[in-house]
């Protein structure tokens, strides 16, 4: 029996459809939700990501604004832009596209943003709320994965989840979200001893290590749910390859996310959800 394919596009369309009436209600009673995206320099991949975010805003009826400072900008000048956006009531969410140039202090930029406008969910106050399981913006990719698991009715409670990767963007928040759903969670990384054996214990395996097809068949427990977060360039420099060997996932997993088309479409959907939620909070609480 072949593995069930978990389609991120299907989940994305559900999320966006549920957001539309909320956006319409906000627009009718108050104003459009507003998202500002700061793109520093001309990184080709970042330009594509930002273009897709702005396009999705337009399709949903979210006001968006793209700010494109030079890649020579200083930390102080970028902080000045962010402070201006903090003060603007029509802007509910601020997103600073990564990566930033080397001369920019990423930590100071993150701290310079109002936590209630941090729609990426990376501000330390929002991370603290995640740890305490309190309402706050959640990191978009892990939040999208939780939506995927929920909508495909993948059991989490009591299951053993293994997260391969410890980044602040995916690995750590993913582990916490699974923990809050009563999974038993192991976090692994490049320095983990016997990584394959640890991964093979997983009922739910989340691969976010950033190495193309790194998790081969010896990493996968037969019947496991495999969530592949990897977005790596293929061997020929074209196309996308996940962190999991695709053939191994098809043969061994009970369910898996393909690359492309699995986790990828969920990130922007959850960014939109965070922006709408921020707008609702701003309307409610000023």
Active site residues: 53, 97, 120
CB-count exposure of residue 86 (10 Å: 0-12, 13-18, 19+): middle
Residues forming beta bridges with residue 184, ordered by sequence position? 160
Hey, what are 180's tokens? 């809050």
Gap between the Cα atoms of 131 and 142, Å rounded: 14
* Pick from 4, 15, 22, 3: nearest CA to 147: 15
The 3-class secondary structure across 194-208, one letter per residue, is CHHHHHCCCCEEEEC
Hey, what are 201's tokens? 């214990």
With vertex at residue 147, the alpha carbon angle to CA 145 and CA 149, rounded to the nearest 5 degrees, is 70
Question: At a CB cut-off of 8 Å and minimum separation 6, what does 132 contact?
Answer: none
With vertex at residue 16, the alpha carbon angle to CA 142 and CA 45, rounded to the nearest 5 degrees, is 60
């Amino acid at each position: 029996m072949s593995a069930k394919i978990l389609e991120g596009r299907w989940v994305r369309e559900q999320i966006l459809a549920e957001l539309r009436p909320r956006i319409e209600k906000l627009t009718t009673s108050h104003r459009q939700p507003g998202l500002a995206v700061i793109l520093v320099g001309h990184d080709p991949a970042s330009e594509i990501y930002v273009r897709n975010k702005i396009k999705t805003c337009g399709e949903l009826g979210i006001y968006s604004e793209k700010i494109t400072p030079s890649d020579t900008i200083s930390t102080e000048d970028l902080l000045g832009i962010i402070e201006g956006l903090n003060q603007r009531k029509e802007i509910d969410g601020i997103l600073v596209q990564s990566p930033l140039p080397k001369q920019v202090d990423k930590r100071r930029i993150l701290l310079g943003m109002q936590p209630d406008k941090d729609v990426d969910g990376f501000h330390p106050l929002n991370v603290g709320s995640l740890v305490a399981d309190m309402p706050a913006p959640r990191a978009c990719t892990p939040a999208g994965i939780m939506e995927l698991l929920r909508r495909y009715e993948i059991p989490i409670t009591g299951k053993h989840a293994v997260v391969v990767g410890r980044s602040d963007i995916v690995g750590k928040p993913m582990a916490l979200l699974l923990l809050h759903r009563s999974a038993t969670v192991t976090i692994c990384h490049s320095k983990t001893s016997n990584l394959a054996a640890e991964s093979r214990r997983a009922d739910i395996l989340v691969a976010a290590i950033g190495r193309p097809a790194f998790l081969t068949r010896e990493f996968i427990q037969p019947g496991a749910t495999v969530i592949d977060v990897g977005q790596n360039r293929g061997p020929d420099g074209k196309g996308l390859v996940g962190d999991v060997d695709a053939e191994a996932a098809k043969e061994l997993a009970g369910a898996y996310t393909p690359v492309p088309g699995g986790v990828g479409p969920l990130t922007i959907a959850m960014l939109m959800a965070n922006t709408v939620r921020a707008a609702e909070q701003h309307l409610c609480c000023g």
